Structure 1
């Protein structure tokens, strides 16, 4: 199967090597997030941490642990990391609108929700994530982006610049995304990989280059040029990080944090009396199916029994593929195959409900 076949209709594949799972996605190879907190005095030290983990939940947990616990009076941090194939959505986004869930699982692509806002992005091992953590007083988005730009330019003479949208650009092609805004619809963008410009631009080379450049900007006489490499889940210096990892992995966070939304679709089914229009609408709150409404045109009293049974079975269920498929199998097991017309009609209803929730 080609990567193009993973796309939902209406989107465009911008990278030659992506698993194109996002419905509206940006592939980022230099991805920036700023965590800012207390207003404090000027930072004394610059520290660089590179995560050796490729697990999205461990890396997001390390970023969050630093945000909650680091003393930005003393130090500004640059955390760099990468993950195996993953879609990462913003704190306030609707996961079902941002990602094609069935194809995501079929492709063995992970799904995670950040603590910060912003749009949905795709990560893989060719993606570098930069997290700048500093005091609110010293937070400067463009300066942070220019740290990356200047470091790469000094080392490889890359003609990069930061545009008016605070995106890192090369030859009018998109190279970076910024995470940290409120709920943001994901915007497709034409991108390019650094390695397409220069094959020396590997992950290890880039993080070493940017890390050393960031360290040289430290203002203290105690400033070192040592970069710290860590395994977040194994390090003893991050007490409580496993609790953060568990929350990030939990269904109620990844899916249940989605704002309330409505699903609706219109189908046409064949009954002995002819073609009938069937409209379905369902409200989803915290990932739970709150209700399911059916409307037929013309009105079909013969459908009331199966419609009621389906509604009673799926309401209060999670909008979860495994749970709903189990519900559908239980319902189908109650159908009387000897009553051919009724059996066929019941299966059509189940098929429509499955498409409403799972496709």
Structure 2
């Protein structure tokens, strides 16, 4: 009799849906994306996860994008802006601490994009904001985008994540997501530029902190089941995933094959460089210049082949190879727009 009762209790428990909330406790983009991947790997069959997180200033590119085509690399280096590649597709986005990111994770049985979007829209209604789900990827209000969304699927677990522009610095968004005038041919996916807005423009009382609370309430209202708040995974649990997101090869070598051309006039002459790049490595290079200085431009051209398109490595090579300080400064500046 006891044994039968135990079986009934166990079956009943497994039949319940568990609504699990995670709140990130830091702003490191590599750690936050690592946590998302860890939660996908550990999500239970009878669980729906909502994970809320913020990043310090970061440009996040989609899985199939080329950062040279999406970002202003020099500005990002100057201003210490993170660059990171996520595992999902879609376009490039800019995060700061006034942007709130959300993630829904569930096994296919409970993964429901309509419900997930409903959680967001239901939370915003508490502020009198009537958002709309337009197309597949965007949430808008008054035809202006406040949320971009992306999706990924792994085995039997799916993930839906997106941004919520609460009071983000929109001028910085356009500053870093506007690449310089590089001539670049690539088969990667381009970002679609849209008119964007902050939610605070529609209700000045909204903040990241109180929006988190509203999202938890909406999550609880939208799904039947048992709601619980869980502690974030430990740094030790996340370590294997963090390594990948901090790896140059993941961020840049995963970019689609590309041909990059850049030219500029300096006080010492006009300089043009064209490079074919595959897996983040320069496979072909052609340099032309009308400079009269006795500097090893052709040797530079030959030495670039086989090198990774890393700014630090390019800087060392230029400083070791060239003598004229103006040439060094000019080439280093030019490479800032072309390297990661």
Where 2:256 maps in the other structure, the secondary structure is coil
1:273-300 CA-to-partner distances (Å, cap 9, x unmatched) read xx9x875421112222222124689xx9
Q: 1:291 to 1:351 in 2, by over 3 A?
A: farther
Q: Take 1:354 and 1:55, find their aligned partners in 2: how far apart are those partners? A: 28
| One of 267, 274, 281 as aligned partner of 1:288 | 281
How does 1:1-359 map onto structure 2 within 5 Å? 44-71=17-44, 73-153=45-125, 155-180=126-151, 184-220=189-225, 223-224=226-227, 226-230=228-232, 232-234=233-235, 239=237, 241-265=238-262, 280-294=273-287, 306-333=296-323, 347=327, 351=330, 355=334, 358=337
Post-superposition offset of 1:264: 2.1
Q: Deviations over 1:225-250 (max 9, x none)?
A: x43353x444x6xx3x1110011011
Assess, with a 3 A threshold, how the Cα gap between structure 1 residues 156 and 295 changes in structure 2: closer, same or farther.
closer
Q: CA deviation at 1:106?
A: 0.8
Q: 1:307 to 1:105 in 2, by over 3 A?
A: closer
- Contact 1:265 1:356 survives alignment (8 Å): no
Q: How does the TM-score come out when normalised to structure 2?
A: 0.75
Q: CA deviation at 1:132?
A: 0.9
Q: 1:144: Cα distance to partner?
A: 1.4
1:296, 1:53 → 2: CA distance?
48
Q: What CA distance in whole angstroms lies between the structure 2 residues aligned with 1:287 and 1:69?
A: 32
Task: Find the counterpart in structure 2 of residue 38 from structure 1.
Answer: none
Query: Kindly tell me: are residues 63 and 269 of structure 1, through their superposed partners in 2, closer, same or farther at Cα, counting changes over 3 Å?
Result: closer
Matched residue SS, 2:296: helix
* Deviation of 1:265 (Å): 3.9
Q: Deviation at 1:74?
A: 1.3
- Deviations for 1:283-334, whole angstroms, at most 9, x for unmatched residues? 112222222124689xx9x99993431123322222122211221111213x
How big is the shift at 1:42?
A: 8.3
Change (3 A) 1:318 1:43: farther
Gap runs ≥5 in structure 2 = 1-13, 154-187
- For the 8 Å contact 1:82–1:127, the answer to whether it is kept is yes
Shift of 1:131: 0.7
Higher strand share: 2
Q: CA deviation at 1:87?
A: 0.5
Q: Is the 8 A contact 1:118 1:181 kept in 2?
A: no
CA RMSD of aligned residues (A): 3.2
Question: SS at the partner of 1:180?
Answer: strand
Partner-residue secondary structure (3-state), 2:317? helix
- Alignment length (residue pairs): 291
Deviations 1:158-181 (A, max 9, x none): 222222344211112111101237
Structure 1 residues 304 and 314: alpha-carbon distance in aligned structure 2, compared to 1, 3 A threshold: farther
TM-score (norm 1): 0.71
Rounded to whole Å, the distance in 2 between the matches of 1:290 and 1:329 is 22
Give the deviation of 1:101 after TM superposition: 1.1
Structure 1 326/210 Cα, relative in aligned 2: closer, same or farther at 3 Å? same
Separation in structure 1 between the aligned mates of residue 289 and residue 53 of structure 2, nearest angstrom: 52
